[in-house]
Structures are given as structure tokens and as C-alpha cells.
Amino acid sequence: MATSSASVNLEDVPSVDLMSELLRRMKCSSKPDKRLILVGPPGSGKGTQSPIIKDDYCLCHLATGDMLRAAVAAKTPLGVKAKEAMDKGELVSDDLVVGIIDEALKKPSCQKGFILDGFPRTVVQAQKLDEMLEKKGAKVDKVLNFAIDDAILEERITGRWIHPSSGRTYHTKFAPPKVLGVDDVTGEPLIQRKDDTATVLKSRLEAFHKQTEPVIDYYSKKGIVANLHAEKPPKEVTTEVQKVLSS
Ligand code: AP5
């Protein structure tokens, strides 16, 4: 049901899909609006927890890494500009990512709030986000800091497998698919990300410590950072997230 009603004849949509969308919207109408940021180093579990929070609170999930990879795959002008930095594990320019977030926040699915996964990654991006929200009379409610020791991340990153079209993530050890290399739901092949190597991870971690950790300080001063124990197993991290978001 991702397509807008302007381009879909609702009479052609199966009743079961219409009903489940209706039920989803009814459930969502009682949920509070939330504007969340997920920050943490590569492999800390942001992408694993995001779909759970998204469903619990009916928010849109905007992952700048996924958006940029889609642009690279489609060879759009944005993708061509972003590819070199991404392959090297460096950050792409603030202007490019601020532009894609500004555009994405206008989507109707972001009406009840959003989860920003991988954005903002620099203080400049955080300031621009504040400006964007101020214009709408809104502000960030909570920043979830996926705190974790660097030493744990190499195993998580090099063992990750992804189903590209759905974004479902697996791990050879921590979250294996039923059949090795194959998506549980569609049976389609899984892939590994080009930047998920031990060598590129070093640059990604360097960028995180140098450019993104100051973002955590920026939001700490506003008193909205919640620190998570991201080294715990996924279900325990989910419980921590739920506790933070219900308080
Ligand atoms: P991006 O795609 O955002 O990558 P990232 O931040 O490096 O984060 P990851 O997706 O690698 O990690 P994750 O925290 O989502 O981990 P996951 O849940 O999958 O960015 C890629 C690139 O795009 C950047 O390098 C940059 O070039 C560019 N970019 C993006 N945004 C930008 C911005 N704002 N500005 C500038 N440039 C930008 O988990 C990892 C693995 O561990 C999985 O296999 C999972 O199954 C497993 N796992 C997860 N949780 C646990 C757990 N608790 N215990 C055990 N295993 C776990």
C-alpha cells in the first residue's frame, strides 16, 4: 500500500489489504507523535531496531545510507556524487544529505513523526535539521544513542547479509536466515554491502568518532539523549528502547 491513491484505483485493491491498512491507521491514530534520531557507529543496531520502532509508533523510517545506496544503484546525479565517499567509508557532503531529508520529511507517512537513522551525522546537519523543524513549529523529541565498544563491531559488520529490496538484515551468527544466503520471506538472494569490510569499517569508525560523536554532545546539551546498551542481544536492546520511548 505504498502507492498514493491518486495513482491507484481503490476498487482494484484487495479487500484484505484495504482492511489491514484501515486497521493500521486506526491503531496509529491513538499513538503519540514522535520525532526520533538514532545515532551510533556502523553495526550498532540502528537498522535492526528501526523497523520495530516504526511499527510500534507508526512513524516513517528515513535511513540516509539506504537512500544514498538506492541513488548510487540508480546512477542518479545524487548517487554519482555520493558513490566515491561511500565506497571509502567517508561521509558525503552535508548539502546532499540535508537536501534528501528535507524532501523526504514532506511524505504523508512522516505525518506522525519520524525515525532518522544515520542522520544527522555532523553538527552542521543537526543545526540544519533544527532549522527545518523550527519552520514547522516542531522539534526533535529524543535521540537514542546506540553506545557500544568499537571492538564488537567488526564481527557484526562482516557477518551482515541484506535483502536489498526490503532492507531485511541478517547475520551469519546472530540472526541467520533459514537457508544460507536466501531471504526468509521472498526466497530471493541476499547480498553483502560493498562497505562492509574490515578495512572500510576503520574509515567509517574514524568518521563516526570525529564527525558524529559531537552530534551526541549537541543533543546532550538539550537534555534529550537516551543512552542504550547496544552491545546487548537485539531483544534486550528492543526492551531498552521501548522503556525509553514510553517514559
Ligand atoms: P549507513 O547505511 O547509515 O551505515 P552505518 O551508519 O555505518 O550503519 P550500518 O547500517 O552499517 O549499521 P546499523 O547500526 O544500522 O547496524 P545493523 O542494525 O544493520 O551509511 C553508509 C554510508 O552512507 C556512510 O558511510 C556515508 O558514506 C553515507 N551516509 C549515510 N548517511 C550520511 C549522512 N547523514 N551524512 C553523510 N554521509 C552519510 O546491524 C549490523 C549487524 O549486526 C546486522 O547483521 C545485525 O543482524 C547485527 N546486529 C544488530 N543488532 C545486534 C545485537 N544487538 N546483537 C548482535 N547482533 C546484532
pLDDT in tens, 11-59: 888 899 899 888 888 888 888 899 999 999 999 999 999 999 998 898 9
Beta bridge partners of 161: 170
pTM over 0.85: yes
Q: pLDDT: is 94 or 31 the higher one? A: 94
Tell me if residue 24 is catalytic: no
Q: Cα separations (Å) of 147 from 6, 35, 115? A: 43, 20, 17
Taking CA atoms only, the protein residue closest to ligand 1 atom 38 is 91
Whole-number mean pLDDT of the chain? 93
Percentage, residues of the chain above pLDDT 90 = 81
Catalytic residue among 46, 83, 128, 156: 46
What is the arithmetic mean of pLDDT over 75-90?
A: 94
Cβ neighbours of residue 147 closer than 8 Å, sequence gap 6 or more = 40, 44, 227, 228, 229, 230
How much is the pLDDT for 10?
83
- Give the pLDDT band of residue 7 (cuts 50, 70, 90): low
Q: How far apart are CA 246 and CA 234, in angstroms?
A: 18
How much is the pLDDT for 29?
83
What is the arithmetic mean of pLDDT over 234-243?
A: 96
CA 136, 138, 144, 150 dihedral sign is: positive
Tell me if residue 160 is catalytic: yes
Beta bridge partners of 114: 35, 60
* Backbone φ/ψ region at 82: left (φ over 0), alpha (ψ -120 to 50), beta: alpha
Ligand 1 centroid from CA 47, angstroms? 6
Tell me if residue 69 is catalytic: no
How much is the pLDDT for 153?
97
pLDDT in tens, 189-211: 999 999 999 999 999 999 999 99
User: How many CB atoms lie under 10 A from the CB of residue 71?
Assistant: 21
Answer yes or no: is pLDDT of 6 > 60.
no
